[in-house]
Amino acid sequence: MTKEDFFPEIVRKLPEAEIPIEGVRSHLFQGQNQQFIFMSFENDVEVPEHSHEGQWAVVLDGEVELTIEGKKHTFTRGDTYFIPKGVRHSGRVRRGYKDLTLFDQKDRYKGR
């Protein structure tokens, strides 16, 4: 498995998720009421402030800085974070960041 293929084939054969951020590779596992998204960032990315249903993630590699309700947090490999429903947050994602995120929302992203 190469660095570009961080995720194993069992993940890579999942449908890609339509995420409107350049340089994001993603795979969608669709549940009845929730979605798992496997994400890999090829570029540094600024994510503007927004909110949505609950979000829980585990950082698989790299680093992300999240501002959650005005407080800055840095998460790296092995860390987890939870953002409750409706909480405003923004982020700075570093190139090379990879995670597995669970959205408590069945239609956060569409598959392609």
Kindly give, in sequence order, each residue whose CB lies less than 8 Å from that of residue 18, ignoring residues fewer than 6 positions away. Answer: 109, 110, 111, 112
Whole-number pLDDT of residue 5: 79
Q: Residues 59-69: pLDDT tens digits?
A: 999 999 999 99
Burial of 8 (0-12, 13-18, 19+ CB in 10 A): exposed
Whole-number pLDDT of residue 3: 54
**Phi then psi dihedrals of residue 95, to 5 deg:** -50, 135
What is 15-102's CATH superfamily? Jelly Rolls (2.60.120.10)
Contact yes or no for 91/51 (Cβ under 8 A): no
Whole-number pLDDT of residue 101: 98
Q: What share of the chain is helix, strand, coil (3-state, %, to 5)?
A: 5, 50, 45
Question: Model-level pTM?
Answer: 0.91
In the predicted model, is pLDDT for residue 4 greater than 70?
A: no
Contact yes or no for 9/61 (Cβ under 8 A): no
In the predicted model, is pLDDT for residue 2 greater than 60?
A: no
Give the C-alpha separation, 6 to 99, whole Å. 11
Q: Residues 26-85: pLDDT tens digits?
A: 999 999 999 999 999 999 999 999 999 999 999 999 999 999 999 999 999 999 999 999
List 105's β-bridge partners, or say none. none
